[in-house]
Amino acid sequence: MKWRLRVTASFILAILPVGMVISQDKSPALQELPKNARTGLPGLQPNNQLLLPNGWSLTPQGTQVQLGDFPVHIETDPSGKFAVVLHCGYGDHEVRVISLETSQQVSSARIDQSFYGMAFVDDGKQLAISGGEDEKVYVFPFADGFLGKPSVLTVGTKEDKFVVSGVAAAGKEILVCGLLANEMKIIDGASGEMRKRVEFADDAYPYTAIVDGKNEFAYVSLWGKSQVAKVNVATGEIVAAMPTLSHPTEMVLLDEGKHLYVACSNQNGVVLIDTFTGEQKEVLSTALYAKASNGSTPMSLCVSPDTNVLMVANADNNNLAIFDIRERGKSSSLGFIPVGWYPTSVRMADEGNSILVANGKGLTSRTNVHGANPNLQPPKTVREYIGGLMQGALSIIDTPNPAEMAKMTRLAFENTPLNEKETPNATEVSKDNPIPTAVGLSSPIKHCVYIIKENRTYDQVFGDMPKGNGDPSLCIFPERVTPNHHALADQYVLLDNFYVESEVSADGHEWTMAAYATDFVEKTWPLTYRGGRGKLKYPAEGKFKIAEPSSGYFWDKCKEKNVSYFSFGEFVDNGPTINDPSTTNVEALQGHYDPKFRSYDLDYPDVLRAKRFLEKWNEFESAGNLPQFIVMRLPNDHTYGTRAGKPTPTAMVADNDVALGMIVEGLSNSKSWSKTAVFVVEDDAQNGADHVDAHRTVALVVSPYSRLGSVDSTLYSTSSMLRTMGLILGLDPMTQFDAAATPMYRSFSSKPDLTPYVSMPANVDLKEVNLASAWGSKLSEQMDLSKEDAADDLLFGDIVWRSVKGADHPMPPPVRAGYVFREVED
């Protein structure tokens, strides 16, 4: 074995422990790095960094190999010649076999549906793969990189809610984790006959299993319980439940079964467990800074063949964290290796000389309009929709020597806008700016109103504004349709470089309220959005406890600091009729929401939501208990498409516009206006085209303290908006992402202007309905629009586009942004 990452005393001193690289290193490159003040457009930068829409950057190391939609799991075959990659995204579910000698694809196979699980069985002669909601395990013959016709082992009926996740081999048996059944079945590897059933507690969500060398014990990571279960394979008995951090996922078993390393994706850590005693021996922080907030998402791990080095894939940090683990329980950080976007799996190959990384979201963000350069068009297999835009990539990295490791670690720190103390960058911010430069400082703004809308890109609404970076040809809801949006952007601040971190509403509402989406949300939404089996449900907005980030939501931070808060429709479920009260599953919102406010319901006009909100606002003011933080849902810009008899997309967006105008006019005439700021954002931007990036969206900041008439082209994201409100209200950041986000200082002025806003009337018919002859009418009728994003949004977006542009004008397809697949030079 040629393991080039040699662990020496001098090497450890050169790299330094986690959280100390920046503070100890005096190199000019690090000292001059502008933290937390990134501007410009996403894409390839002059310094060869790839700037993402969230303000973080990529410098992926090694050779990059194009993969398919959302690769989630890598395994190497026993010969070490091939990497097998499982894809479980919005697009095709498939397994691809890559030759590690040529970096070329050798073979592939489609799967109707899968969910993470994959393992070699029968000494590598066969490959077992999860069948997800189809309650199957596919067992492929495997030889010389080629996959044969699989045998199909059925572990449940179509009606069962087992949902196959991780699989593992135990001799001639296969252990199969049932995500929703809270069970593990031990089945015969040839016939599929069940030998034993292991039952876990409710909401355990068994993720995957690993078996010791004697096939005596299996260890099962309980995703929803912060535990690993130790199971006697022969009897199926649970002999121990060993505590971990939040969201245990992958595991590595060492030292003849004595030590177990567990990646815990919802808490920045890897736990080392003594399997004989069940005790934790050590917790390794995988974040760039040891005390960083939640958000690294360590979901995969592996060890070097000599078991001296541990490698952890930090999905949301876009890097690998490397540790010296020679002395169990006394590990030390060796640094970081930058990889692609959202690494989901890490393995080693070539006897430890190569590192393999599956980058779930690939190497770049992308626009979603057709470009002039035909060479930049995506593969034909890519769905022309944000859910399928981000094709994955396999990084093949030579294991670095100490000098290379030091260089890579520095790059990893340069890629993040986060700083060690998680303080906002306040460079060149005037002392009298109303946005505080640190938590705890006062602000003249005392009340934040946060309005969340649905699914529009910047160009769709503001593409016609000459003073912003827009493309008029992509603007389908121009000033004629959205006069209030345009007037507010023109009179207050136009934000033409604002992005969402999310792809769809499922992760969108999580990012909007938490500055984060857990691995549970990220891994389940593609299955539900692509047309699942109805077993895995919409994973967000308080529907599942396992979806909640360990760092909590914005209202949790309010509660911690005794900041009053209230929700109008966000994370709230409607009653069966408009006369029935709404409810919420979120404990922190009990008593802090309006049961009379209608949440997502396209049959309920936004103007009625606006009226109810203003009524309640006036009640709060009269009672002297106006909440400091208010979040409100204003969803009808989602539209019904062209469903016959329903309002046209233009009418629904116009209704949304009138409602927004009503709200701002009402607030600007209230006695609390002098102390109020209104923040408006879309939960995601999935439903339209944008010439800059598919994540660029509509956002507004409206306040007496707004920098009136300005254009603020600073790169902001939803996390920037959350960070700004947090500073106003004196709240600590929730995650690394709002901690690192650039506060919206440039959107505010020190001198207030209390002139009330005068709302603009609708210029289009708000009662216009779709005719049965409208393009896409029958398709719209077949779509489930009872909840957000239940329909095929690629097709739905095309319907909305044609409703405005005409039946003969299809929505523009996407192009790739400017990353070229190449080997990174030394």
Torsion of CA 136, 223, 321, 27, to 10 degrees: 130
Its pTM stands at: 0.90
Rg of the Cα trace of the chain? 26
Tell me what pLDDT residue 639 has.
85
Alpha helices in 456-553 (DSSP H): 458-462, 483-491, 505-514, 519-529
Tell me the average pLDDT across 551-570: 98
Tell me what pLDDT residue 391 has.
87
Mapping DSSP to helix (H, G, I), strand (E, B) and coil, where does residue 32 land? coil
Sequence-ordered list of residues with C-beta below 8 angstroms from that of 299, at least 6 positions apart, any chain: 249, 250, 263, 265, 313, 315, 344, 519
Tell me what pLDDT residue 426 has.
79
pLDDT in tens, 195-250: 999 999 999 999 999 999 999 999 999 999 999 999 999 999 999 999 999 999 99
pLDDT in tens, 767-794: 999 887 776 666 666 555 555 655 555 5
pLDDT in tens, 264-287: 999 999 999 999 999 999 999 999
Q: Is-contact 562 589, C-beta < 8 A?
A: no
Torsion of CA 4, 353, 334, 256, to 10 degrees: -110
Tell me what pLDDT residue 365 has.
72
HEC assignment per residue over 345-405: EEEEEHHHCEEEEEECCCCCCCCCCCCCCHHHCCCCCCCCCHHHHCCCEEEEEECCCHHHH
CA-to-CA dists, residue 616 to 588, 610, 613, 619, 666, angstroms? 20, 10, 5, 5, 12
- Residue 444 in tokens: 């003249």
What percent of the chain stands above pLDDT 70?
86
**Listed residue (654, 703, 685, 693) closest to 789, CA to CA:** 685
Tell me what pLDDT residue 773 has.
73
Tell me what pLDDT residue 135 has.
98
Neighbours of 618 (CB within 10 A): 14
Tell me what pLDDT residue 642 has.
76
The one-letter code for the residue type at 50 is L
Angle formed by the axes of helices 793-805 and 649-668, nearest 10°: 90
Give backbone dihedrals phi and psi of 99, rounded to 5 degrees, phi first: -75, 130
Q: Is the pLDDT assigned to residue 22 strictly greater than 60?
A: no
Residue 400 pairs in a beta bridge with: none
Q: How many CA atoms lie within 13 A of 781 on its CB side?
A: 11
Q: Point out the least confidently predicted range of 7-11, 518-522, 601-605.
A: 7-11
Q: Is the pLDDT assigned to residue 186 strictly greater than 50?
A: yes
- Residue 634 in tokens: 């204003």
Our measurement of the distance from residue 735's CA atom to the centroid of its chain's CA atoms, rounded to an integer in Å, reads: 13
Mean pLDDT of the chain: 89
Tell me the average pLDDT across 50-63: 95
Tell me what pLDDT residue 641 has.
80
- Residue 705 in tokens: 């303290």
**Listed residue (352, 347, 350, 343) closest to 393, CA to CA:** 343
pLDDT in tens, 372-426: 233 334 443 333 456 566 689 999 999 999 999 999 999 999 999 999 999 998 7
Tell me what pLDDT residue 600 has.
94
Tell me what pLDDT residue 379 has.
40
Tell me the average pLDDT across 557-575: 98
